[in-house]
Amino acid sequence: MIFATAKPSILPMKVKLGMAIHTISDNTEAQNNSAQVVSLLDLNIQELQRTLKLAGLLQTSLEVESILNFFLDSTREAVTFNSAHYVNESHQFKLDVGKEERHTAIYRLRIAGEALGEMRFTRNKRFSNDEMELLENQIYHLVYPLRNALLYQAALKSAHIDGLTGINNRAALDLAIQREVELARRQHNPLSLLILDVDHFKSINDTYGHSTGDYVLRNLATCVKETLRSCDMLFRYGGEEFAMILSGTDIEGAHLVAERVRTTIEQHAFEFNGKNISVTASIGIAVLGSRDTVTRLFNKADAALYQAKSNGRNCVHTFAQAKR
């Protein structure tokens, strides 16, 4: 295995052109050298062209996967490999291309002490020193665009995460619901929206203090997330309101999920500073109709939630029921 620390480099190629040009003369030996010089010149021009092309491509995107694919396409032109694997545990990103073979070249990517992950190439025969040098030259051009993309993606993720509960926030909800509505229409699949409100949350804050209220919200978010299916999406919609998008779920399925969430919250032990806190929630359900916009879908779920609270709280209500 080969471990390398990537460092910034604009043109990592060794300067062989000038040295080669000076060997040209009119004698026979010089003519043979001249043929080698032309071959070397062509090789370096090709490498220069590939390097410039890669450098340009890497500046066109801030998507980590796109940047890595540009890099791998360019690298494959320089060095043959059977598989490539990139992993960055801190950013929870992984990319695997091809079938892994026995011989491996591994590069740990770092800039100024900052770890950018690990790149691994494999194939069924050993990598030569020249090939490893080519791989390193390619990687030198990857590190800065890769770091920029990782930082950008982390900033985007941070902007869509609720600081208190660690789940998706309102901004993430606005993007997700628009996308899911469009997808449901294209695929003719059902889509349900649930809005959950913590019952008497103000009295929890007034009785136990805001730190207790924060504890309740954090633990409720964890409790609901663990109760939902892996395909469901959970968001903190407002102060003590949460929204759930259930893709591919009709009204009966949505009601089952909502009841399971409500029951789990009611039975969960919320204990803070030695005090047991009774927590319940009301849930409103709306199913996407043929004429519904995103706004109308929200309004339907909100109307159902209002009806659930009017019915005494700690219950589930659907918009269809609210109309009757």
Q: Looking at residue 171, what is its pLDDT?
A: 92
Alpha-carbon distance of 98 to 131, in angstroms, equals 19
Q: Looking at residue 17, what is its pLDDT?
A: 28
Q: Looking at residue 3, what is its pLDDT?
A: 47
**pLDDT above 80 for 97:** yes
Average pLDDT over residues 183-189: 95
Q: Looking at residue 55, what is its pLDDT?
A: 64
Copy the structure tokens of residue 49. 């062209």
Query: What does the pLDDT look like over 16-49, one tens digit per residue?
Result: 222 223 222 334 444 444 444 444 344 455 565 5
Alpha-carbon distance of 134 to 131, in angstroms, equals 5
Average pLDDT over residues 115-143: 91
> Which ranges of the chain would DSSP assign to H, the alpha helix?
17-21, 28-58, 64-78, 129-159, 170-187, 201-208, 210-227, 251-267, 294-310, 319-323
Q: In this structure, are residues 100 and 83 in contact, taking their beta carbons and an 8 Å threshold?
A: yes
- What percent of the chain clears pLDDT 70, i.e. is strictly above it? 81
Question: CATH classification of 17-159 is 1.20.120.80, yes or no?
Answer: no
Residue ranges of domains in the chain: 17-159, 170-323
Alpha-carbon distance of 271 to 275, in angstroms, equals 5
- What percent of the chain clears pLDDT 90, i.e. is strictly above it? 63
Average pLDDT for the chain = 84
Alpha-carbon distance of 299 to 283, in angstroms, equals 14
Three-state SS for 21-71 is: HCCCCCCHHHHHHHHHHHHHHHHHHHHHHHHHHHHHHHCCCCCHHHHHHHH
Q: Looking at residue 188, what is its pLDDT?
A: 94
Among residues 63, 101, 240, 271, the one annotated as catalytic is 240
Average pLDDT over residues 72-79: 90
Query: What does the pLDDT look like over 241-285, one tens digit per residue?
Result: 999 999 999 999 999 999 999 999 999 999 998 889 999 999 999
Q: Looking at residue 109, what is its pLDDT?
A: 92
Copy the structure tokens of residue 242. 């949460």
Q: What is the pTM of this model?
A: 0.62
- Which residue in 192, 204, 213, 171 sits closest to 283, CA to CA? 192
Q: Looking at residue 15, what is its pLDDT?
A: 28
Equal fold, 17-159 vs 170-323: no
DSSP state at residue 293: -
**Higher pLDDT, residue 76 or 52:** 76
As beta bridge partners, residue 118 has: 87, 108
DSSP state at residue 11: -
**Higher pLDDT, residue 112 or 290:** 290
Is 240 catalytic? The answer is yes
Q: Looking at residue 48, what is its pLDDT?
A: 55
- CATH code of the region 170-323: 3.30.70.270
Average pLDDT over residues 196-225: 95
Q: Looking at residue 5, what is its pLDDT?
A: 45
**Higher pLDDT, residue 38 or 312:** 312
- Which residue in 42, 48, 63 sits closest to 11, CA to CA? 48
